[in-house]
A and B are shown apart, each in its own frame.
Chain A
Amino acid sequence: MAQLICKSVSIAYEKENVVEDFSMEVEKGDYISVIGENGTGKSSLLKGILGIIPLKSGEVTFSDGVKRNNIGYLSQQNPMQKDFPASVGEVVLSGCLTRKGFLPFFSHRERERAIKNMDRLGILELEHKSFADLSGGQQQRVLLARALCATDKIIFLDEPITGLDPIASKDFYALIEKLNKELGITIIMITHDVENALKYSNKILHMHKYKYFFGNKAEYLIDGGCTEECMCEKHQKGGK
Chain B
Amino acid sequence: MSDFFNQIATMFSYSFMVRAMFIGGLVALCASLLGVILVLKRYSMIGDGLSHVSFGAMAVGLAFNQAPLYVAIPVVIVAAYLLLRVSENSKIKGDAAIGLIASSSIAIGIIINTLSKGTNIDLNSYMFGSILAINKEDSVLCIILGIVILVVFIYCYHYIFAITFDENFAKACGIKIEIHKTILAILTALTVVIGMRIMGTLLISSLIIFPAVTSMRIFKRFKPVLISSVAISMFSYFVGMIASYMLEIPTGASIVVCNMCVFIFATVIAKILKK
Contact = CB atoms under 8 A, between A and B. Distances in A.
Interface of A: 47, 50-52, 67-69, 71, 73, 75, 78, 80-81, 84-87, 90-91, 94-95, 97-98, 100, 104-106, 128, 130, 132-133, 146-147, 150, 156
Interface string B167-210: 01111111100000000000000000000000000000000000
B172 A51 contact: yes
Given A75-B168, A81-B165, A106-B158, A97 B220 contact: no
B173 A69 contact: yes
Contact of B175 (A91, A97, A146): A97
Contacts of A86: 161, 165, 221-222
15 contacts: A51-B172, A75-B168, A81-B165, A81-B166, A85-B220, A86-B165, A87-B220, A94-B158, A95-B169, A97-B162, A97-B173, A104-B154, A104-B155, A104-B158, A106-B158
A30 to B, nearest CB: 18
Contacts of A147: 169
Interface residues of B, number: 28
A143 to B, nearest CB: 8
A173 B225 CA distance: 35
Nearest to A46: B172
A94 B223 CA distance: 13
B168 A73 contact: yes
Contacts of B223: 87, 90
A173 B216 CA distance: 34
- A94, A106, A133 interface centre (most CB from chain B within 10 Å): A94
A82 to B, nearest CB: 12
Contacts of B166: 75, 78, 81, 94
B169 A104 contact: no
Nearest to B225: A85
Nearest to B151: A104
Contacts of B158: 94, 97, 100, 104-106
B220 A130 contact: yes
Contacts of A71: 172-174
Interface of B: 40, 42, 154-159, 161-162, 165-166, 168-175, 216, 219-225
A80 B175 contact: no
A150 B221 contact: no
Given A50-B172, A73-B168, A97-B173, A87 B221 contact: yes
Q: Is the interface of B mostly helix, strand, loop or mixed?
A: helix
Nearest to A98: B173
A150 B222 contact: no
A90 B223 CA distance: 9
Contacts of A67: 174
B165 A84 contact: yes
Q: A47, A52, A85 — which one has the most chain B CB atoms within 10 A of its CB? A: A85
A52 to B, nearest CB: 5
A100 B161 CA distance: 14
Contacts of A50: 168, 171-172
Contacts of A104: 154-158
Most chain A beta-carbon neighbours within 10 Å: one of B156, B172, B175, B225: B172
A87 B162 CA distance: 13
A80 B42 contact: yes
Contacts of B173: 69, 71, 73, 95, 97-98, 150
A90 B175 contact: no
A106 B223 CA distance: 14
A143 B4 CA distance: 54
Contacts of A150: 173
Nearest to B161: A94
Nearest to B162: A94
Closest A-B pairs by Cβ, 4 of them:
A130-B220, A69-B174, A73-B172, A87-B221
